[in-house]
Amino acid sequence: MTSHPDAHGAPFADEAARAAERAARLSYGRLLAHLARAFRDVTAAEDALGDAFAAALRSWPRQGVPANPDGWLTAAARNRLIDLARSGAVRAEAASTLDLMARAGENGDGPPLADRRLGLLFVCAHPAIDPAARTPLMLQTVLGFDARRIAAAFLVAPAAMSQRLVRAKARIRDTGLRFDLPDAGAWPARADSVREAIFAAYGAGWDAAVLAGGGDRDGLTEEAIWLARVLVDGVPDDAEARGLLALMLFCEARSGARRTPEGAYVPLAAQDPARWSRPMIVEAEEQLSVAARSRSPGRFQLEAAIQSAHVAARVTGRDLSAALVHLHEQLAAIAPTIGSVLGLAAALGAAGRPSDGLALADGLPASRVADHQPFHAVRAHLLEALGRGLDAAEARARAAALADDPAVRAFLTRTP
Amino acid sequence: MHYMILFYEPEAVFTDRTKPEMATDYWGAWTSYVGALAESGVVVSGNALQAPHAATTVRLRDGERLVQDGPVAATKEQLGGYFIVDVPDLDTAIAWAARSPSARYGSTEIRPVLPPMAAPA
Q: Would you say residue A11 has pLDDT above 90?
A: no
Residue B65 to chain A, least CA–CA distance (Å)? 35
Q: Stretch A391-399: mean pLDDT, rounded? A: 93
Question: DSSP letter string over A77-136?
Answer: HHHHHHHHHHTT-S-HHHHHHHHHHHHHHHHS-SPPPP--HHHHHHHHT-TTS-HHHHHH
Query: Looking at the complex, does the CB of residue B98 fall below 8 Å from at least one CB of chain A?
Result: no
Nearest CB to B89 within list A174, A176, A186: A176
Confidence (pLDDT) at A182: 84
Is A182–B1 a contact, with Cβ atoms under 8 angstroms apart? no
Q: Stretch A6-30: mean pLDDT, rounded? A: 69
Q: Rounded CA gap, A77 and A50, in Å?
A: 8
Q: Rounded CA gap, A82 and A102, in Å?
A: 10
Confidence (pLDDT) at A12: 44
* A189 contacts A139 by C-beta, under 8 angstroms: no
**What are the tens digits of pLDDT across the range A155-205?**
788 899 999 999 999 999 889 888 888 887 777 888 888 998 899 888 888
Confidence (pLDDT) at A97: 75
Confidence (pLDDT) at A6: 41
Residue B40 to chain A, least CA–CA distance (Å)? 18
* A391 vs A30: which has the higher pLDDT: A391
Confidence (pLDDT) at A7: 40
Q: For B111, which residue in chain A has the nearest alpha carbon?
A: A175
Contacts of A177 in chain B (CB under 8 A): 89-91
Confidence (pLDDT) at B82: 97
Query: Looking at the complex, does the CB of residue B91 fall below 8 Å from at least one CB of chain A?
Result: yes
Question: DSSP letter string over A147-206?
Answer: HHHHHHHTT--HHHHHHHHHHHHHHHHHHT---SPPPTTTHHHHHHHHHHHHHHHHHHHH
Chain A residues within 8 Å of chain B (Cβ atoms): 128, 174-178, 182-183, 186
Q: Rounded CA gap, B88 and A88, in Å?
A: 20
Residue B64 to chain A, least CA–CA distance (Å)? 37
Contacts of A182 in chain B (CB under 8 A): 91
Task: Determine the length of chain A.
Answer: 416
Q: Stretch A11-29: mean pLDDT, rounded? A: 75
Which backbone phi and psi does B117 adopt, to 5 degrees? -75, 145
Q: Stretch B90-110: mean pLDDT, rounded? A: 95
Residue B76 to chain A, least CA–CA distance (Å)? 24
* Mutation to test the B interface, candidates A41, A172, A175, most B Cβ within 10 Å: A175
Nearest CB to B89 within list A174, A177, A186: A177
Q: Would you say residue A320 has pLDDT above 90?
A: yes
Which backbone phi and psi does B24 adopt, to 5 degrees? -75, -50
Radius of gyration of chain B, Cα coordinates, nearest whole angstrom: 17
CA distances from B29 to A28, B8, B32 (A): 49, 15, 5
Q: Rounded CA gap, A347 and A344, in Å?
A: 5
**What are the tens digits of pLDDT across the range A40-96?**
888 888 888 888 888 888 888 888 888 888 888 888 888 787 787 777 766 666 777
**What are the tens digits of pLDDT across the range A26-55?**
888 888 888 888 888 888 888 888 888 888
Nearest CB to A178 within list B89, B110, B112: B89
Contacts A–B by Cβ distance under 8 A: 25
Confidence (pLDDT) at B109: 97
Query: Looking at the complex, does the CB of residue B89 fall below 8 Å from at least one CB of chain A?
Result: yes
Residue A117 to chain B, least CA–CA distance (Å)? 18
Superfamily the domain B2-112 falls into: Dimeric alpha+beta barrel (3.30.70.1060)
Confidence (pLDDT) at A153: 75
Query: Looking at the complex, does the CB of residue B107 fall below 8 Å from at least one CB of chain A?
Result: no
Non-local CB neighbours of A412 within 8 Å, separated by 6+ positions: A377, A380, A396, A397, A399, A400, A403
Confidence (pLDDT) at A375: 94
- Domain map of chain B by residue range? 2-112
Q: Would you say residue A101 has pLDDT above 90?
A: no
Q: Give the largest Cα separation in chain B, rounded.
A: 57
Confidence (pLDDT) at A106: 59
Are β-strands B107-112 and B43-48 bridged in parallel, bridged antiparallel, or unpaired?
A: unpaired
Is A128–B94 a contact, with Cβ atoms under 8 angstroms apart? yes
Q: For B3, which residue in chain A has the nearest alpha carbon?
A: A175
Non-local CB neighbours of A101 within 8 Å, separated by 6+ positions: A31, A34, A35, A70, A74, A81, A113
Confidence (pLDDT) at A104: 64
Q: Stretch B23-47: mean pLDDT, rounded? A: 93
User: Which residue type, as a one-letter code, is found at position A411?
Assistant: F
A124-133, A205-214, A310-319: which has the minimum mean pLDDT?
Answer: A205-214
Contacts of A36 in chain B (CB under 8 A): none
Q: Would you say residue A9 has pLDDT above 60?
A: no
Residue A178 to chain B, least CA–CA distance (Å)? 5
Residue B114 to chain A, least CA–CA distance (Å)? 9
Q: For B86, which residue in chain A has the nearest alpha carbon?
A: A176
